[in-house]
Structure formats: structure tokens, C-alpha cells
Amino acid sequence: MASLKFVSSVWQSFRASSGLEPRLLDTLRISAARPGTVNFELDIQKHHTNRLGTVHGGTIAAMVDLGGSLAVASRGLNATGVSTDLNVTYMNPGGNVGDTLRVEVTCDKFGKTMAYTSIKFVNGKGMLVARGSHTKYVAIAWKDKDKKVEEMKDEASQTADA
């Protein structure tokens, strides 16, 4: 439960201080978080779509970027580093206005300098829409006083014991 609260607070920080996320990803909701994994949903609105009426690839790319940051946050870093690489593979239409896009992002490797994340997108029909990866340089983020890395390690070990 500490992961969800912490990741939600990082998301609120993005919403308060970023120019892009609060405008583009305004309907994004974090539905679950545990150390290393975050689930979220986006209710698709017109400004998320392309001229064909389906989710725009740029919207998905923005969610890969944000998702990687939230996965890093789920490991306890409030300052989530800077992007060094971002990749998206598009496979199926993501949905139309009124649909919900479901997303799961995982922090696959979390080190002192780099974090590697992977993300998958599923549409309302249960089809895999896209998958992505996001690499972040996190060395400076470790110096942030608001990190909760030890607390997330404790939560991960409690979850593993259950």
C-alpha cells in the first residue's frame, strides 16, 4: 500500500509541475502499484486521438515516458531521473473516444545509475495494443531527500513472504 500512495504522490507532482502530462494525460488513473510494477488506465478523449479517431501514437509514447517514471517511483525514487532511451512498438488500435486503455509498467532493472522499464498497453477488447521500453539515468535521483527506497524494499520483501 505504501507503493500506491508514493507513486500517486509522484504522479500528483507531475500534474502540478509539468506542462505536458496534466494536459495530455488528464484522465489517467493509477489503479495499482507495488515495488517494481504500476498499473494505470486512460479514459480516451478526443484530444488523445489521431485523425482516424483512434488513440494517437504520440499519446501512447507519452505514456511510455510517464510510465517509466512511475515504475522508477514504485522502487522509491521521488526524482525519477532523465530519459536516455524510449521505444514503442504499435500492434493494434488502442481504442476510440469513450474506451479505456489499460497499462502495466514494470521496472525490470533498478540500479545506482540506470533503470530499465517495460510497458504493455491493452485495449478494451483485451488486445495487446503496444509495448514499449524506457531507460532512465537515475544517478542524480538517488541524492533526492524525498526518496523512499528502503521502505519499498521492505514492502517488496513483505509481499514476497505473503
β-pair partners for 104: 39, 120
Residue 154 has pLDDT above 90, yes or no: no
What is the residue range of 63's domain?
A: 2-161
pLDDT tens-digit readout, 80-134 = 999 999 999 999 999 999 999 999 999 999 999 999 999 999 999 999 999 999 9
What is the tally of structural domains in the chain?
A: 1
DSSP line for 14-71: HHHH-SSHHHHTTTEEEEEEETTEEEEEEE--GGGB-TTSBB-HHHHHHHHHHHHHHH
pLDDT tens-digit readout, 14-69 = 999 999 988 999 999 999 999 999 999 999 999 999 999 999 999 999 999 999 99
- What is the domain-level CATH number for residue 56? 3.10.129.10
Predicted confidence band at 144 (pLDDT cuts at 50, 70, 90)? Answer: confident
Among 124, 13, 114, smallest CA distance to 66 is for: 13
CB-based burial label for 89 (10 Å; 0-12, 13-18, 19+):
exposed
Predicted confidence band at 153 (pLDDT cuts at 50, 70, 90)? Answer: confident
Per-residue pLDDT at 52:
95
Rounded distance, CA 68 to CA 64, Å?
A: 6
Rounded distance, CA 58 to CA 46, Å?
A: 13
pTM: predicted TM-score of the whole model, two decimal places:
0.92
Rounded distance, CA 126 to CA 92, Å?
A: 11
Predicted confidence band at 152 (pLDDT cuts at 50, 70, 90)? Answer: confident
Residue 160 has pLDDT above 70, yes or no: no
Per-residue pLDDT at 162:
52
Q: Report the share of the chain in percent with pLDDT over 90.
A: 83
